[in-house]
Structure 1
């Protein structure tokens, strides 16, 4: 039930109150090494895995929290699709290490899941079932256990039976209980359901040596590309009556599943057009859904696992598609994740650009960080990852208050990335940029902005300390005219927080649209 929760995850991302972090001057950065990958996976298993239940806990404190009270035992254990992703995290570790411990866990987790969900088909969400179908086929490829093939094949057939041309000229429905958009708001066809089924179908094509699965994979892919992509942009879903409308929500897992589907068809056919599609989707994320080349924070709950799906399939593109140009990007993100782990227990949080806090961490969140360290070959780099110096405002974290109107927008030309943050004039709100530096220094940074309502002013803090109480953003005469304003900031080696905020006691309330922080 991934799509249904996404607006909630996005709201949580926007409403999160940021606690600022000031690193100690002698804070040590550690390299991404094979030993780090071992430590990260061991920490993940030790923290979240209940060996007696053969199942993963939802939260690191093994308590139920209302933020994600889904899954067995009232939410004590992870829900349906989370457990499939964590099962794949274990497979990531097994592929890297060939450890008998992880090989045993592959079988045990399957057993534990079936004990908690005695009838998988009671779940009406086809995307949930699809993640298990895909994971089962991967488990079959790794272990040769026929039960995994049988279960994956069964689930694929059940999901594929939901292919329907009555609305939108094809596509698989998200839910098995919602097929008519005239009577149900839940009637939609989405990327999360359709793209993974392309990957599953190709796995079945080779498992059974049956080209009928290739035909089905091509059919699903062609519809998905036609209806849910536009150029390099990968959209979320279709809904509504008649021809339907496309919801263009940007989430990294949509790009990950689509490029993964393209890689699978490239492997099966050798057609370069699929490789082109995969590279286009990958490059969109690398160009537009990052902060200084690190995958952006997308929220908590489901959203914290989105970049795991993207990284897993980007690595497939690197290896199976022969696209070595992504190695450095993946290694840098793995290093960022590791460097920002919580050192007390080596658990990695939801934002790979800032240190993991002291509160409980969700299992899907931690799995994302653990997985990328398993997927990517260690580069043994020692030091911080400073990025490319460009931080898009639309990808930054926000501190909001009730009724504030900070939204992502792309109405006026002249912006970089995916757009800019618009509608900002509410007291006690801020944009928070998490900036990593290789060494301590003073930098002159620039904000790219539009101030069509007249002069605006905001404060700038660095690691909780004011560096400008009232930075003036001079009027740009119109919202389609962008300008820059600069300020000098002192930065520590390692992690820093640059906060651009509005305090009514320090400035005026004119609206301000912010596009980019640069100069780092």
Structure 2
């Protein structure tokens, strides 16, 4: 796929130089969009052709820049550095809440890993400083264990870029806090979703497994690797459906499944499988990750392979960004390009095709993004997908 993309990028290099200049000068604005049917995307059932048009790499960077133009806000100094946050929407009505802010920063990390852009790296640091400034170092007051894990995961991924020991410590200390208050042997293990201990959810257990693996890599402490395996094995036993690859969302204290699957439950389970497989190759994790990819593609998407809208409330609207992040890493790390690249490229292309006049993409990748209002969580989806496909 890199060869195909490289050829396309070369063919369009002159066009893109003019295009990028025009969009940056005009605040990422663009004219009305052409429907995706005119892109001649080929599909049969849920199998999208490898000839599907995907955004070139410079467009992936531009998408992140357009996002930052709309939502990024520096609000002062932080020691010798600066502090920043993302606004919650285009009207700048306040900062994003805790977990969405963490996920927006993860999207920025994705873009940096794809583009190695110095401005993006600086913004990661400033946004991290903003999280420290607003929420402190240890997030014990947050009753949502998944929120704390999302924040810890953001910190440890930022540490990989900056080698800032404060980021590593924040990730470690908050992960440890959640483990100590949320892991028990009820239901055979697993982390409780909140401090009320009512349900054990995929949205805390799968990202915690990923976070634990990053902590193991950063610290060399094998206890984190063991915890990651315990978390994933609990999910396999309680929330994963072996026959289909579906990952259920939650189980209550009585052992009853209370939530169905979402793109982010599939994605983080895939991410956990991807990271644990090299350390436990006989545990079938890679096969289970592929099965979860297949379920998402064949049972959650439309006939052309487009990922679903998740708009039942505003806490769901950015879920596809999380799926994109870990699905694309899975493809890269385990050489599944021939199986999944065309499908993921198609989703990236559709998101970008329907951007608004400021270059923003909401989470409904089949019609045009509104110009008058979008929020900063739903608009992470397209950015994460566009940059994710350039990981492989």
Place the TM-score, normalised by the shorter chain, in its bin.
Answer: 0.7 to 0.9
Alpha-carbon deviation of 1:164? 4.0
1:116 matched to which residue of 2? 134
Query: Is 1:209 matched up with 2:220?
Result: yes
Query: Is 1:321 matched up with 2:334?
Result: yes
2:204 matched to which residue of 1? 193
2:237 matched to which residue of 1? 226
C-alpha distance in 2 between matches for 1:378 and 1:146: 26
Does structure 2 retain, via aligned residues, the 8 Å contact 1:91–1:106?
Answer: yes
Alpha-carbon deviation of 1:274? 0.5
Select which of 247, 272, 275 maps to 1:261. 272
Select which of 319, 330, 335 maps to 1:306. 319
Give the structure-1-normalised TM-score: 0.61
Alpha-carbon deviation of 1:25? 9.2
Between structures 1 and 2, the one with greater helix share: 2
Alpha-carbon deviation of 1:120? 2.3
Alpha-carbon deviation of 1:38? 2.4
C-alpha distance in 2 between matches for 1:341 and 1:150: 38
What secondary structure, in the 3-state scheme, does the structure 2 residue paired with 1:377 have?
Answer: helix
C-alpha distance in 2 between matches for 1:191 and 1:214: 18
C-alpha distance in 1 between matches for 2:85 and 2:317: 20
Cα deviations by residue, 1:74-114 (Å, 9 ceiling, x for unpaired): xx110111011111111111111111101111110011112
Between structures 1 and 2, the one with greater strand share: 1
C-alpha distance in 2 between matches for 1:323 and 1:144: 30
Query: Is 1:84 matched up with 2:88?
Result: no
Alpha-carbon deviation of 1:378? 9.7
C-alpha distance in 1 between matches for 2:102 and 2:374: 18
C-alpha distance in 1 between matches for 2:70 and 2:62: 12
C-alpha distance in 1 between matches for 2:347 and 2:71: 23
1:58 matched to which residue of 2? 88
Select which of 154, 158, 172 maps to 1:153. 172
Pick closer, same or farther for the CA change 1:170–1:351 going to 2, 3 Å: same
Alpha-carbon deviation of 1:27? 11
Greater C-alpha radius of gyration: 1
1:39 matched to which residue of 2? 62
What secondary structure, in the 3-state scheme, does the structure 2 residue paired with 1:229 have?
Answer: coil
What secondary structure, in the 3-state scheme, does the structure 2 residue paired with 1:225 have?
Answer: helix
Following TM superposition, the consecutive aligned residue runs of length 4 or more in structure 1 with deviations greater than 4 angstroms are 22-31
Pick closer, same or farther for the CA change 1:61–1:270 going to 2, 3 Å: same
Cα deviations by residue, 1:468-508 (Å, 9 ceiling, x for unpaired): xxxxxxxxxxxxxxxxxxxxxxxxxxxxxxxxxxxxxxxxx
Does structure 1 retain, via aligned residues, the 8 Å contact 2:362–2:378?
Answer: yes
Does structure 1 retain, via aligned residues, the 8 Å contact 2:36–2:353?
Answer: no
C-alpha distance in 1 between matches for 2:185 and 2:391: 49
Structure 1: 5+ residue runs without aligned partners? 1-21, 64-75, 180-186, 380-520
Structure 2: 5+ residue runs without aligned partners? 1-31, 40-52, 76-82
Does structure 1 retain, via aligned residues, the 8 Å contact 2:145–2:182?
Answer: no
What secondary structure, in the 3-state scheme, does the structure 2 residue paired with 1:161 have?
Answer: helix
Pick closer, same or farther for the CA change 1:360–1:272 going to 2, 3 Å: same
Alpha-carbon deviation of 1:23? 7.8
What secondary structure, in the 3-state scheme, does the structure 1 residue paired with 2:186 have?
Answer: coil
C-alpha distance in 2 between matches for 1:252 and 1:38: 24
Alpha-carbon deviation of 1:268? 2.5
Does structure 2 retain, via aligned residues, the 8 Å contact 1:34–1:378?
Answer: no
C-alpha distance in 1 between matches for 2:271 and 2:133: 30
1:38-437 equivalences under 5 Å are 38-52=61-75, 54-63=84-93, 76-118=94-136, 120-165=139-184, 167-176=186-195, 178-179=196-197, 187-231=198-242, 232-241=245-254, 244-271=255-282, 273-291=284-302, 292-299=304-311, 300-324=313-337, 325-342=339-356, 344-377=357-390
What secondary structure, in the 3-state scheme, does the structure 1 residue paired with 2:178 have?
Answer: helix
C-alpha distance in 2 between matches for 1:31 and 1:273: 32
Cα deviations by residue, 1:192-225 (Å, 9 ceiling, x for unpaired): 1111111111112121222222211111111111
C-alpha distance in 2 between matches for 1:62 and 1:207: 36
What secondary structure, in the 3-state scheme, does the structure 1 residue paired with 2:390 have?
Answer: coil
C-alpha distance in 1 between matches for 2:184 and 2:37: 58
Report the number of matched residues.
335
Does structure 1 retain, via aligned residues, the 8 Å contact 2:183–2:191?
Answer: yes
Pick closer, same or farther for the CA change 1:26–1:373 going to 2, 3 Å: closer
1:13 matched to which residue of 2? none
